[in-house]
Amino acid sequence: MADIIKLLPDHVANQIAAGEVVQRPASVVKELLENAIDAGATLIKLIVKDGGKTLIQVVDNGKGMSETDARLSFERHATSKISCAEDLFNLDTKGFRGEALASIAAIAHVDMHTRTESSEVGTHIKIEGSKIVSQDVAATPKGTSISVKNLFFNIPARRNFLKSNQVELRHISDEFHRVALVHPSIEFHFYNNGSELFNLPKAGHRQRICHVFGSKMNNRLVPVNEETEVVKVSGFVCKPEFAKKSRGEQFFFANNRFIKSPYLHHAVSAAFEGLIKQDVYPGYFLYLEVDPSSIDINIHPTKTEVKFDDENTLYAILRSTIKHSLGQFNVAPILDFEHDPNLDTPYAYKEKEASIPKVTVDASFNPFQEVEAKPSGRPAYQKPNVKGWENLYEGLETPIDTESFSSLEIESDTLVQGNFYKDAEGEIHAAATFQLRRKYIVSTVKSGLLVINQNRAHERILFERFLGEITVKEGISQQLLFPMELSFSKQDRDVLQEIGESLTNVGFVFEELDKETVKVTGVPLVVAESAIGTVLDRLISDYKEGFEGNMISQAELLARTLSKNLAIKTGDVLDTESQLALLNDLFACKEPTLSPFQKITYTIVPEGDIEKKMN
């Protein structure tokens, strides 16, 4: 039998490795930024075009590389971070696998300019699909500049799986945030299609968080600080009242590296138990420092999943530390031993009842009595003289002809084909309704018993209404008596601007004030004034999460999100009129049987089934 096992060519092996390291443009951004940090850079610039599909460029002022190192950096498993296997258990750098540049060069066009401080000239290398096109001497500033162009140019199938430019830019921003938040001592600049998105100067951790997510975060943060033999915990958690429906502002960093840990996230949620609802998530920015030998960061190619030696102890420390911080800063309920007794009601007045104010009236006052003007000069009350008031009663003395009503016919309710009835005004309705467990609307119909899920039914009604308003641009807006100013982060402002036209068609009216504040002057009729901020926050978070996994239009996605956030919820009490209105509106929809999320809105229990149950 002929030999069938053979070694893969280098370019094929590199493309396979690239599939593990580079899933999308954000993966390239992460690797290049981490290499710049490992090079000791104090200034890093990130430049992207078309969501990273056309260009990703990272420029730093780090140590740079010699001519030989620049060439070797694109070889597989070439690294300066480790020299033996034992070094894997004592890592203090980010890039150590030696696969990033080799994998990126296998699926893109790469240009590198680099120079060390001791060299007078630098090196310029051009690579296309793992093939070195040229290597020349070039005049370049100290540090390294890497440009990655035409990502996945030789793997069109992978390029077709990329999302829109806005979605890919959002993932790049997420990776940029993860790197920038853990390195506040480094100055970062982020440019997209020629415009500056972020300009982050050197600062502390709290200032860096506010620079990334807006100045509004400053009042939301509660400091966390604890040092033990196992771990040193520092950072901030957000106050309970600012917990959100989405998992947006949640960051764990272990030894200056962003990590994902559902187990530690549960520890944070346990610390907030009793302070937030079950369906919301607290925000946090927590930095953990542990012994490098007690953590394994080499269990996943992206190095975001880690393994701790003693997770149970870490869980208990993290939970108790956060609970202590919430209590220390008067966020959680605690016993107040510093209460000022001077603010209490005096003892002599505790049993004293409040005196009822006395109101005096002139019992002899007659508004119909003509009185002469008072000496004070004020005009006395004069009864208005309305002339011709007798004309209002002309024709009423004519007797009514009751014989003309002899041929009057009263229109009775007519039966519509189906399960419902039509009254004299053409309104379709059921015989009667009542609410069951504040969740279902129950009514009788021709074929049996009708049971409607009030939440899903209202979602369907609002979905079709909002979708029509976005499409035909005829949304009705109610103007606010006092405009509301809301603060958003830079990323949320970009999302709000992206969907601004559709929101305007629904009925929202915005006025921009500055880079962080937006003034809302009008809202749709179904949005309460007190819920404007909550609705917009949920709208932005749902849009960021939903636009990625659904191949649907922006209008349909917004209509779904608005209907989900504004629909009647389970537990809301509805009066009889509201129940009938909900029933009529549901069966006036084009698709009344399903909610926008493809769930059944109602069911009919046949009369025959009821008879069988009674036998």
Tell me what pLDDT residue 415 has: 41
Q: Give the number of other CB atoms < 10 A from CB of residue 391.
A: 8
How does residue 323 score in pLDDT terms, banded at 50, 70 and 90?
A: very high
Report the CATH number that the domain containing residue 53 is assigned in CATH. Answer: 3.30.565.10
pLDDT at position 240 over 80: yes
How does residue 388 score in pLDDT terms, banded at 50, 70 and 90?
A: low
| pLDDT above 70 as % of the chain | 79
Tell me what pLDDT residue 26 has: 93
Report the CATH number that the domain containing residue 233 is assigned in CATH. Answer: 3.30.230.10
145 and 28 share a domain? yes
Residues 58-112: tens digit of each pLDDT: 999 999 999 988 888 888 777 766 656 665 556 666 665 567 888 888 889 999 9
Count of domains in the chain?
Answer: 3
227 and 86 share a domain? no
pLDDT at position 114 over 50: yes
Single out the residue in 166, 200, 234 at which a domain terminates: 200
Q: How far apart, in whole angstroms, are the C-alpha atoms of residue 73 and residue 80?
A: 9
The alpha carbon of 347 is separated from its chain's Cα centroid by a whole number of angstroms, namely 52
C-alpha dihedral, 250 to 252 to 258 to 260, nearest 10°:
-80
454 and 322 share a domain? no
Q: Please, what sign has the CA dihedral across residues 291, 295, 296, 302?
A: negative
Indicate whether 399 belongs to any domain: no
Indicate whether 357 belongs to any domain: no
How does residue 419 score in pLDDT terms, banded at 50, 70 and 90?
A: very low
The alpha carbon of 169 is separated from its chain's Cα centroid by a whole number of angstroms, namely 16
What does pLDDT average to over the chain?
A: 81
Q: What is the pTM of this model?
A: 0.70
How does residue 488 score in pLDDT terms, banded at 50, 70 and 90?
A: confident
Q: Compute the average pLDDT of residues 527-550.
A: 74
19 and 139 share a domain? yes
Q: Are 29 and 46 a contacting pair, CB within 8 Å? A: yes
450 and 533 share a domain? yes
Structure tokens at 548: 């990625």
How does residue 410 score in pLDDT terms, banded at 50, 70 and 90?
A: very low
Q: Scanning the structure block, which residue is given the tokens 């490992």?
A: 38
Q: Could you tell me the CA-to-CA distances from 486 to 510, 518, 577 in Å, in that order?
A: 10, 5, 35
Tell me what pLDDT residue 157 has: 83
**Read out DSSP for 552-614?**
--HHHHHHHHHHHHHSPPTT----HHHHHHHHHHHTTSSSTTB-TTS-B-EEEEEHHHHHHHH
The alpha carbon of 414 is separated from its chain's Cα centroid by a whole number of angstroms, namely 50
Residues 219-234: tens digit of each pLDDT: 889 999 999 998 999 9
Residues 3-60: tens digit of each pLDDT: 788 787 776 776 666 666 788 999 999 999 999 998 999 999 999 999 999 999 999 9
Quote the domain boundaries for residue 460: 428-604
Residues 163-176: tens digit of each pLDDT: 888 889 989 999 99
Indicate whether 377 belongs to any domain: no
Residues 268-309: tens digit of each pLDDT: 999 998 888 887 889 999 999 998 888 877 666 666 777 888
Q: What is the DSSP letter of 129?
A: T
Contacts 24+ apart (CB under 8 A), 214-223: 214/487, 214/488, 214/489, 214/490, 214/516, 215/487, 215/516, 216/487, 216/489, 216/516, 217/489, 220/283, 221/285, 222/325, 222/326, 222/329, 222/331, 223/325, 223/329
In this structure, of 138-147, 160-169, 312-321, 584-593, the range with the lowest mean pLDDT score is 160-169
Q: Are 420 and 580 a contacting pair, CB within 8 Å? A: no
225 and 179 share a domain? no
Indicate whether 408 belongs to any domain: no
Q: How far apart, in whole angstroms, are the C-alpha atoms of residue 77 and residue 301?
A: 13
32 and 64 share a domain? yes
